[in-house]
Amino acid sequence: MEIKLPRHIHVRSTYLNKVRPFMGKNIIKVLTGQRRVGKSYLLFQVIQLIRQENQNASILYINKEDLAFSFIKSAENLNDYILTHKSNAGKTFVFIDEIQDIPHFESALRSLLLHEDLDIYCTGSNANLLSGDIAGFLSGRYIEIQVYSLSYAEFLDFHGLIEGSGSLEKYLKYGGLPYLIHLPLEDEVVFEYLKNIYNTIVYRDIINRYAIRNVPFLEQLLVFLAAHTGSIFSAKKISDFLKSQRINMAPNQVQTYIHHLVNAFLLHKVPRYDLVGKRLFEIGEKYYFENLGIRNGIWGYRLEDRGKIMENVVYNHLVFKGYKVRIGIIGNKEVDFVAEKEGEKKYLQVALTINDPSTMSREFGNLKKITDNYPKTVITMDAFSGNTHEGIQAIDLRSFLLS
């Protein structure tokens, strides 16, 4: 089937640069992430690159959201279709969109890897796509690249906006789903679109996939997590709070539902880390939304939530930049984020403002308790270009998001 690429494709070089080293290699390239973050368009960008090098390249594109491919209902169907349609001369580039919709797809992928004339790329909207047994089954013959909503820099580029406080406000309110470039950035329009994306994720990737029976509870749980973004929770604490609202759900059921939300990439689960004992805490974690626009659509964009929204966007930027992120605990004090990449760390505190002496003492004081020499930064809404505070840097949110 001939594939026609969209006329205008915004290049996301961060992800293309991650894919490039593996192009043409006999290793499966898997793009994972929440629905509508742009995984399909990244496949199109790879196809575009391939065609630039070879206009006659043999390309197979399978989109499981397209009824034209509804006949592919099993691993056998997938394997047979690709082997029947692949080129007999030279390499065939295979692209499979939303592969998790094909039962036991991993069996087909393992079999297809035996054919060195195939170069395979696929996308999926479930964090368990290549976990546990499946990862072992594929014997390390794949590379997984997680795709996130647009970063602030990408948001400015996609929308053709000039960097400034107004542009940041739009980003914090509406989030970074790529399709928003086709819509006017107005509350009524954007939140109606985001509501439909939210419903698709909740019903297709959670309720239908896991046969959820208590749908009202799942929706109440999401409202609760949106209202308390960035708070430390355990399943028991959430269960106890909901009981106070006359909603009865056992802690283990709460944990199961949250697990489904994380697997669908609606939420990021961030564990707490003991900076002294060098260990993860088994209970008590924070949750941040993959997309702030969806979070604001659930709970509203409220003035009193500015601090929570700031924390969420700082977390999102860190993972976009490739950091492994945890919450730091030192005694009874908290460091908002401990970010680690390639053996290096950085410590970050997030505060709306540090003009108040007590806030300044708290935010900088927590960082001062850390005895190693890795960089320490306080991120605020306020622009500041003066000295550090005893070696601890202060940076405004806009500058941080563009770093």
CA 268 to chain centre: 7
What's the angle, vertex CA 126, arms to CA 182 and CA 293, rounded to 5?
Answer: 35
Q: Are 307 and 328 part of one and the same domain? A: yes
Burial level of 255, CB count in 10 A (0-12/13-18/19+)? Answer: middle
Number of domains in the chain: 2
Mark which of 146, 168, 199 sits at the end of a domain: 146
Is there a single domain that holds both residue 32 and residue 106?
yes
Look at residue 309 and tell me if it is in a domain: yes
Same domain, 199 and 136: no
Same-domain check for residues 99 and 46 = yes
Question: 284 with 249, same domain?
Answer: yes
- pLDDT for 2: 66
Range of the domain at 287: 152-401
* HSE-up of residue 176 (Cα within 13 Å, Cβ side): 27
With 70 as the cut, is the pLDDT of residue 138 above it? yes
CATH number of the CATH domain containing 59: 3.40.50.300
Give backbone dihedrals phi and psi of 32, rounded to 5 degrees, phi first.
Answer: -115, 160
Give the C-alpha separation, 191 to 200, whole Å: 14
- Which residues are registered as beta bridge partners of 146? 32
Of 92, 120, 146, the last residue of a domain is 146
Q: What is the CATH number of the domain that holds 185?
A: 1.10.10.10
Same domain, 172 and 130: no
- Last residue in a domain, options 112, 146, 180: 146
Tens digits of residue pLDDT in 165-175:
999 999 999 99
Is there a single domain that holds both residue 227 and residue 258? Answer: yes
Same domain, 255 and 339: yes
Distance of alpha carbon 155 from alpha carbon 224, whole angstroms: 28
In a domain, 65, yes or no: yes
Segment (H or E) for 59 = strand 58-63
pLDDT, tens digit, 9 for 90 and up, residues 2-56: 678 888 889 999 999 999 999 999 899 999 999 999 999 999 999 999 999 999 9
Phi, psi for residue 93 in degrees, rounded to 5: -100, 120
Strand order across the 58-63 sheet: 58-63, 92-97, 118-124, 28-32, 142-146
- Same domain, yes or no, for 187 and 140? no
Average pLDDT (109-127) is 93
395 and 246 belong to one structural domain: yes
Q: Average pLDDT in the 60-89 region?
A: 94
Q: Is residue 7 part of a domain?
A: no
The share of the chain scoring above pLDDT 90, in percent, equals 75
pLDDT at 218: 93
